[in-house]
Amino acid sequence: MRHPLLMSALTLALITGTPALAATAKAAAPVVQGTKQLDGQNARLGQTFTLGKQSPLNFTLNSAEYSTDRVVIGSEIYYAKADEKLLVLRDTVQNPQKSAARYS
């Protein structure tokens, strides 16, 4: 007779104690290097940003558009599916260094 009552009390104690324990032990946020993501107000078409520290490159986003037509990039041809669109980004990358840099 005492066992069901004891199990009920133990279960109640575990249920009510678990949220308090979970609230005090929060997961650590992952470490992200670099700067915070820019909002749309600061990231404008035609504005140049320098990316990288050891081998910096100047990156300019010239245009961004959706397309349902085929898009040729190099020797590859890309098609959007019937219910999809392709996001086409056109950019310029410049090397501000005196030495050659590889970009791919």
Name the CA dihedral angle for 79, 92, 100, 51, rounded to a multiple of 10 degrees: -100
pLDDT tens digits for 33-74?
666 766 666 667 888 888 888 888 888 989 999 999 999 989
> Strand, helix or coil at 60?
strand
Residue 7 has pLDDT above 70, yes or no: no
